[in-house]
A = this chain, B = another copy of it.
Amino acid sequence: MSIFKDATPEEINRVMEQSWSAFISYRTYTLRQRADFMRTIAAALGAISTTLIPVAMKETNLPEARLKSELTRTLFQLNSYADACEQGNWLEASIDRPIDHHDNPKPDLRKMRVPLGPVVVFGASNFPFAYSTAGGDTACALAAGCPVIVKAHPAHARTSEIVADCIKKAAAQCNMPEGIFAHLHGTGFEVGENLVMHDRTRAVGFTGSYAGGKALFDQAARRKVPIPVFAEMGSINPVYLLPGKLAESPVEMAKLYAGSITLSAGQFCTNPGLIMGIDNADLQQFITALGKEIERAAPATMLHPGIAQAFVTNRSKALEQDEVNIIAISQQQPEENQAIPTIASVTGRAFLNNPVLHQEVFGPYSLVVKCKDLREMLAVAAQMEGQLTSTLMATEEDIQDNLLLVETVKHNCGRIIINGVPTGVEVCLSMQHGGPFPATTDARFTSVGADGIKRFSRPLCFQNWPDSLLPDELKNGNPLGIWRTVNNELTRA
């Protein structure tokens, strides 16, 4: 599939040792220097977009408009995380002044976040820019002060190679240490495993399938020195249609969701794979309308033949389950490697009893669960695995009448949406892209938004350091003008 050679164990070793040398140097770079490097990467990528987009189109089958907006998003991530890096709130800088009490003296204690070390990044097949080579994980790691080693996704290895060259040129331009960024290819599991298991690796960022993410997580836990793996592994993103809201506008709701289900051939980790309602006339209206939309929806070419094949297999497996009925299949003739938009339905009881139906079908597919009543909907919610997102289509009255359901849903996802669709992951500080397992391997972190920087950093406490030797972030005079907690009070003084 790839024209690039897989990295050999010797090459991996060389690269990781070089990353370590780069770390020794890069960790002493100022926030400003890191941010400037990130901005330089963004500018350099922006400058080659006309070269980059056609290559990515060819490799991923994604349309030009989608890739253009993804590239814009990628530059925004680099620039906005650079701003956050310099602003320094992520450092969680804190100062507790000494107390010179004869009975109970307290030392001078100061704390800030420091980088973990070389971070291995595994890009996503569905986001060749935003969650790949120069994507969110890379941006977060560089902001934290960590060198990055990217394992290119074989499905867009050429795109990845061009982006990597661009980063390397930006690194040279910014006088970054040799080894600050490395780019390796690997079509099998071996390269990834060797990278995760290498002594010099300090953390892993991954976006992709459950099988892939879980394998890396398990490898990292088996290391002599375990390291954190933040793997975003997708989810089925349940949507709860509450009766009051559903009664208001079942047809509009169906149109909204048909769009969300088929967007980008359903190839989003936030694709709504499960829609729950109470089995009544309103739900039937919703289903009928949704079915009409799906029948009209155009099949779209998937990212690569492997994903297209997996969609066929997983869809068939889901549709074969007891009591699952097809609601609608797109009536348009698909071409090769195109996914056929499909929706099916099942009863709440059957869903509760069949774990197969809880699995993600990556692509333009969604399952409508017809619950007997709100009690059964609550039972389904309580049984749900951890999710990146959950959505409530609800009036205020629906919410007030179903507080336990709302709380149950809340405590099982990373983002809870009211009256919207889960697709569309805004890049901002308040975003949380990371839900309870199996959505991600650690719900305490996010892979979208500047808080993602914290994944690759840790607090370090300085005790009794003379002011002149402290890092600028912790000096009495606050030369960087950052927010710090001084004796438990946030201040910029």
What is the bound-complex CA distance between A418 and B385, given in angstroms?
48
B418–A465 CB distance below 8 A: yes
For A207-237 the 0/1 string (1 means CB < 8 A from B) is 0000000000110010001111000000000
For A400-420 the 0/1 string (1 means CB < 8 A from B) is 000010011011011111111
A407–B463 CB distance below 8 A: no
Asked if A111 meets B432 with Cβ closer than 8 Å, knowing A221-B218, A451-B459, the reply is: yes
Distance in angstroms from A76 CB to nearest chain B CB is 11
Asked if A109 meets B431 with Cβ closer than 8 Å, knowing A468-B396, A485-B89, the reply is: yes
Is A107 part of the binding interface, using a Cβ–Cβ cutoff of 8 Å?
Answer: yes
Is A488 part of the binding interface, using a Cβ–Cβ cutoff of 8 Å?
Answer: yes
B488–A414 CB distance below 8 A: no
What is the bound-complex CA distance between A111 and B434, given in angstroms?
12
What is the bound-complex CA distance between A163 and B221, given in angstroms?
35
For A412-452 the 0/1 string (1 means CB < 8 A from B) is 01111111100010101111101011100111101000010
Contacts of A217 in B (CB 8 A): 221, 226
A96–B460 CB distance below 8 A: no
**Closest Cβ neighbor of A400 among chain B residues:** B469
For A1-42 the 0/1 string (1 means CB < 8 A from B) is 000000000000000000000001001100000000000000
Contacts of A228 in B (CB 8 A): 442, 444
Is A490 part of the binding interface, using a Cβ–Cβ cutoff of 8 Å?
Answer: yes
Is A296 part of the binding interface, using a Cβ–Cβ cutoff of 8 Å?
Answer: no
Main SS class of interface, A? mixed
What is the bound-complex CA distance between A437 and B483, given in angstroms?
29
B490–A111 CB distance below 8 A: no
B24–A463 CB distance below 8 A: no
A28–B407 CB distance below 8 A: yes
A461–B416 CB distance below 8 A: yes
Which of these, B111, B225, B410, B428, contacts A431 with CB under 8 Å?
B111
Contacts of A106 in B (CB 8 A): 426, 428
Is A386 part of the binding interface, using a Cβ–Cβ cutoff of 8 Å?
Answer: yes
Which of these, B431, B434, B461, contacts A432 with CB under 8 Å?
B461
A444–B457 CB distance below 8 A: yes
Which of A114, A454, A462, A483 has its CB near the most chain B CB atoms (within 10 A)?
A462
A27–B396 CB distance below 8 A: no
Contacts of A437 in B (CB 8 A): 225-227
Which of these, B218, B430, B466, contacts A94 with CB under 8 Å?
B430
**Closest Cβ neighbor of A221 among chain B residues:** B221
B469–A416 CB distance below 8 A: no
A225–B386 CB distance below 8 A: yes
What is the bound-complex CA distance between A465 and B398, given in angstroms?
13
Is A117 part of the binding interface, using a Cβ–Cβ cutoff of 8 Å?
Answer: yes
For A372-398 the 0/1 string (1 means CB < 8 A from B) is 000000000000011000000000100
Q: Give 5 new A-B contacts, CB below 8 A, not counting A89-B490, A96-B431, A416-B461.
A: A24-B407, A96-B430, A226-B441, A396-B469, A416-B460
| A residues at B contact (CB < 8 Å) | 24, 27-28, 83-84, 87, 89, 92, 94-96, 106-107, 109-111, 114-117, 217-218, 221, 225-228, 385-386, 396, 399, 404, 407-408, 410-411, 413-420, 424, 426, 428-432, 434, 436-438, 441-444, 446, 451, 454-455, 457-466, 468-469, 483, 485, 488, 490
**In the complex, the 4 A-B pairs of residues with the closest C-beta atoms, listed nearest first:** A432-B461, A221-B221, A109-B430, A415-B461
Q: List 16 A-B contacts (CB under 8 A).
A: A27-B407, A107-B417, A107-B424, A109-B431, A217-B221, A221-B226, A225-B437, A415-B463, A418-B463, A418-B464, A418-B466, A419-B464, A430-B461, A431-B461, A443-B458, A444-B458
